[in-house]
Amino acid sequence: MRRVQCVLLCEDRQHEAFVRRFLRGKLDIRDIRVLICPPGQQAAEQWVRMQYPREVRALRRNQVATSLVVMIDGDLYPIPRLQILERALSEESLSLRSATEPIAIFVPKRNIETWIAYLNGQTVDDQTTYPKLQRQRDCQSAVDILKQMCEQNHLRQPCPPSLQEACEEYLRI
């Protein structure tokens, strides 16, 4: 397996399109290995959670990539996804992610469509289900707005807390 600049671990193609655009200019997007939950096999969140320790281990051994980006929807699950991912590491006897590791975790609360609706000018909340895009690439203008907001460290208020956290995670890469 050839070394890549980044491994992207995500639930679906919409996540992939969003993150690829978000990382454009920061990373060579052709040098990203994408791991997406195979359709119809299991819950996408569960698949990401199961793959996460394996990819962290590979990153720490410097085997595959120099960075790891994870995108997993927060859904309405009562336990924060970051805690669930930390638990997955602990169960595999791996140390938790350190502040200096090149591992970024993006957790849209409720899902990625919440972020896209906010970036397209809507006022959003974490309970509402926002419509999916017709084509995954239709998120490009929203992602460009996010990149600009993150780079200027100024998100339009009221901002979903998970999106503010995403800007902070963006700086880890």
pLDDT of residue 80: 83
pTM equals 0.90
Instruction: Locate 172 and state its tokens.
Output: 């880890």
Structurally, what CATH architecture does the domain formed by 6-170 represent? 3-Layer(aba) Sandwich (3.40)
Q: What is the DSSP string of 13-62?
A: HHHHHHHHHHHBTTB-GGGEEEEEPPTTTS-HHHHHHHHHHHHHHHHHTT
Q: How is the chain split into domains, by residue range?
A: 6-170
Tens of pLDDT along 2-61?
567 899 999 999 999 999 999 888 887 778 899 999 988 779 999 999 999 999 999 999
Under a CB-based contact definition with an 8 Å cutoff, are residues 10 and 20 in contact?
no
Q: From CA 111, how far away is CA 108, in angstroms rounded? A: 5
76 versus 146: which is more confidently predicted?
Answer: 146
pLDDT of residue 118: 95
Tens of pLDDT along 87-146?
999 999 999 999 999 999 999 988 999 999 999 999 998 889 999 999 999 999 999 999
Q: What is the mean pLDDT of residues 84-88?
A: 95
